[in-house]
Amino acid sequence: MSLTHFAPAANLLWKYLESEGIDPEPLYRKAGIAPELLHDPGARINVSRVDTLWQQAALAIEGSCFAVKMAQFWHPSQIGALGYAWLASSTLRRAFKRVDRYIHVVTEDLDLQLSDIPAGLKVSIDMEGSIFTLPQHHDLVLSILMHMCRFNFGDELVATQVSLAHPELECSKQVIDYFRTDIQFDAEQSGFTIARGDADRVLPSANRQIALMHDEMLTRYLIEIKQGDIVQQVKSIILENLPDGAVTDKLVAKQLNMSERSLQRRLQENQTTFRSILEGVREMMAKQYIKNPMNQMGDVAFLLGFSEQSAFSRAFKKWTGLSPLEYRNTR
């Protein structure tokens, strides 16, 4: 299954090229990317085409430290619901947890790693095995993440540590000036660390209901884009049919155009069962719905396909050890 990239995210490079007096359209078309896709929130692009685009752009743009200049052209819409969930997050820590959880909504060729170290919250980008190999890719991801942090926190935010997994470039002063701190070049991994007090400070833009609403959208979308995986296909069908009542393996098999036995065998090959997936999806969505105080427990039970609220409450306590209300009050 080929990896994909959220099409509107490619608007960032388009806008930067225009600012440099470079016509983006020929570069995009040469890479096999139709410009109209950039305005379609339902479109995805093969990451190999995005890489080809970047290789061409790097040749067309003067200088090798251009990636940090691109951050100013970032807009939440370029990463869809994740951008708006980020803006509504209560702290930078919670915002980064969302990025960690949903990064494949933006691109399936990149992972994020979060860890607490003495200096604070460390955010590392994992590009091992990625087709994105240009030094500018590392600069771009880190500078956008820092721009997003400053967008929420304030322009005064400075990381306590910054590292880049490529040699120091001749124009590296531009990168250092952007981060406003010393940078460790030739590091094992690219990333930065935010002081714990900054990572956990409550942000003025926080809006829990908006953030949770977008979490629900992101969860569904993430499952949809993994359609080549039989487990994800089953999850997607379960999500679509939960509000209609009992979801059975017979119903799912029919929608996948296979027999129940074939479905069972395919799931066994993936070390799982239909019942396990169904329970996992219900638990995942229950936690999402319960976090939102606007959702009544009876409505949540209905959305998850339970005929009675009491049956939902029993199931939820089995999953978490807490009643739905107790779980909501601990979040």
- pLDDT surpassing 70 at residue 315: yes
Q: Which CATH number does 4-199 carry? A: 3.90.1520
Task: Report CA-CA distances (Å) from 190 to 139, 154, 175, 180.
Answer: 8, 23, 13, 16
- pLDDT surpassing 60 at residue 1: no
Give the pLDDT of residue 90: 95
**Beta-ladder partners of 123:** 114, 192
Q: Which segments within the chain are labelled E, that is strand?
A: 4-6, 44-46, 111-117, 120-126, 161-163, 190-194
- For the ranges 69-83, 111-125, 284-298, 306-320, the lowest mean pLDDT is seen at 284-298
Give the pLDDT of residue 18: 96
pLDDT, tens digit, 9 for 90 and up, residues 71-101: 999 999 999 999 999 999 999 999 999 999 9
How would residue 243 be classed by pLDDT, with cut points 50, 70 and 90? confident
Which is higher by pLDDT, 150 or 133?
150
Q: Which two tokens stand for residue 257?
A: 């155009």
Q: Can you list the pairs that 269-275 forms with residues at least 24 positions away whose Cβ atoms lie under 8 Å?
A: 270/230, 270/231, 272/231, 274/234, 274/249
- pLDDT surpassing 60 at residue 25: yes
Q: Which CATH number does 226-330 carry? A: 1.10.10.60
Give the pLDDT of residue 157: 97
| Average pLDDT for 279-293 | 87
- pLDDT surpassing 80 at residue 226: no
HSE-CB at 206 with a 13 A cutoff on CA atoms is 14
| Average pLDDT for 37-53 | 91
Give the pLDDT of residue 331: 64
Give the pLDDT of residue 193: 98
Residues 35/28, Cβ–Cβ less than 8 Å: yes
How would residue 255 be classed by pLDDT, with cut points 50, 70 and 90? confident
Count of beta carbons in the 10 Å neighbourhood of residue 118: 8
Q: Please name the residues in contact with 154: beta carbons below 8 A apart, sequence gap of 6 or more.
A: none
Give the pLDDT of residue 227: 66
| Average pLDDT for 199-208 | 94
Domain limits, the chain: 4-199, 226-330
Can you give the pTM of this predicted structure? 0.76
Give the pLDDT of residue 258: 85
Tell me what the pLDDT averaged over the chain comes to: 90
Task: Report CA-CA distances (Å) from 297 to 219, 243, 313, 319.
Answer: 20, 14, 9, 16
